[in-house]
Amino acid sequence: MDIQSQDKSQVRLKGVKEGFYVTLDPTLPQVFLEEELTRLFNQLQHLASNSRVILDIGETQNRQDVVESLTAFLKNKYHVKSVSAPQREQQMTEDKPRKLDMPGNWHQHHTDALIIAGRVRSGQKISAKKHLVILGDVNPGSEIIAGGDILIMGNLGGTALAGQPDNEDAIILAIGFKPIQIQIGGIIAAGLPTSSAHTIEFAHVENQGIIVENYIKANPFGRLTWPVVR
Amino acid sequence: MAGGSLKRCALEGKIIVITSGKGGVGKTTATASIGAALALEGKQVAVVDMDIGLRNLDVVMGLENRIVFNIVDAVKGKCKIKQAAIKDRRIENLYLIPASQSDNKDILNPEAMVRFCKELRKEFDYVLLDCPAGIERGFENSVAPADEAVVICTPEISSVRDADRVIGLLYARSITPKLIVNRIVPEMVEKGDMLSHEDVVEVLSIELLGLVEMDSQVIISTNTGVPLVLQKESSAGQAFRRIAMRLNGQKNLPIEIPQSSKSFWKRVGQKIGIGK
> How far A177 CA lies from chain B's nearest CA (Å)?
14
Q: Write the pLDDT tens digit of every residue in B204-238.
A: 999 999 999 999 999 988 888 788 999 888 999 99
CATH number assigned to the domain with residue range A9-84, chosen from the 4 options 3.30.750, 3.10.530, 3.40.50, 3.90.930: 3.30.750
Where residue B2 falls among pLDDT bands split at 50, 70, 90? very low
- The domain spans of chain A are 9-84, 114-218
Q: Has residue B136 got a pLDDT over 80?
A: yes
Query: What is the pTM for the complete model shown?
Result: 0.71
Say yes or no: ipTM exceeds 0.95.
no
pLDDT under 70 in chain A at which residues? 1-9, 60-61, 88-105, 195-197
**pLDDT for residue B5:** 42
Nearest CA in chain B to A122: B165
Residue A119, chain B, CB below 8 Å: the answer is: yes
Q: Classify A95 as helix, strand or coil.
A: helix
Average pLDDT on B39-49 reads 95
Q: Does A125 touch chain B (CB under 8 A)?
A: no
* Cβ pair B169:A119 closer than 8 A: no
What are the chain A neighbours of B159 within 8 Å (beta carbons)? none
Confidence of residue B41 (pLDDT cuts 50, 70, 90): very high
Residue B9's pLDDT is 46
C-alpha atoms less than 13 angstroms from C-alpha of A191 in its C-beta half-sphere: 0
Q: At B241, phi and psi to the nearest 5?
A: -65, -40
Contacts of A123 in chain B (CB under 8 A): 164-165, 168-169
* Mean pLDDT of the region B4-17: 67
Looking at the complex, does the CB of residue A50 fall below 8 Å from at least one CB of chain B? no
The SS3 assignment for A75 reads: helix
Per-residue pLDDT tens over the stretch B98-133 = 999 998 899 999 999 999 999 999 999 999 999 999
Residue A12 has phi, psi (to 5 degrees) of -125, 150
Beta-strand runs (E) in A81-197: 82-84, 114-117, 125-128, 132-135, 143-146, 150-156, 159-162, 172-177, 181-184, 187-190
Interface membership of A201 toward B (CB under 8 Å)? no
Q: Which positions in chain B touch A157 (Cβ < 8 Å)?
A: 203
Interface test with A, best of B161, B170, B202 (most A CBs within 10 A): B161
Average pLDDT over residues B251-258: 88
B240 touches B212 (CB < 8 A): yes
| Span B76-102, pLDDT tens digits | 999 999 999 999 989 999 999 999 999
SS3 A90: coil
Domains of chain B plus CATH, in order, are 10-272 (3.40.50.300)
Q: What is the per-residue pLDDT across A40-88, written as a single tens digit (0 to 9) for each? A: 888 877 778 888 888 888 776 677 788 888 888 888 888 888 888 877 6
A143 touches chain B (CB under 8 A): no
Range B184-206 average pLDDT = 93
Over 90: is that where the pLDDT of B50 sits?
yes
CATH match of A114-218 with 2.160.20.70 = yes
CB contacts, 8 Å: A137 with chain B: 203, 205
Count of A-B CB contacts under 8 Å: 28
**C-alpha distances out from residue A144 to A165, A195, A199, A202, B43, Å:** 13, 20, 21, 15, 46
pLDDT at B269: 63
Stretch (H or E) spanning A23: strand A20-24
**pLDDT higher than threshold 90 for residue B240:** yes
A121 vs B162: CB contact, 8 Å cut-off?
A: no
Chosen for mutation from B203, B204, B206 (greatest number of chain A CBs closer than 10 Å) is B203
pLDDT-based confidence at residue B8 (cuts at 50, 70, 90) = very low
Q: Residue B88 in contact with residue B96, Cβ under 8 Å?
A: yes
* Average pLDDT in chain A: 82
Query: Contact A121/B164, CB-based, under 8 Å?
Result: yes
Cα A157 from chain centre: 28
DSSP B116-175: HHHHHHHH-SEEEEEPPSSSSHHHHHHHTT-SEEEEEE-SSHHHHHHHHHHHHHHHHTT-
CB atoms within 10 A of CB A26: 19
Residues of chain A found within 8 Å of residue B161, distances taken between Cβ atoms: 122, 140-141
Contact B168 A157 (CB under 8 A): no
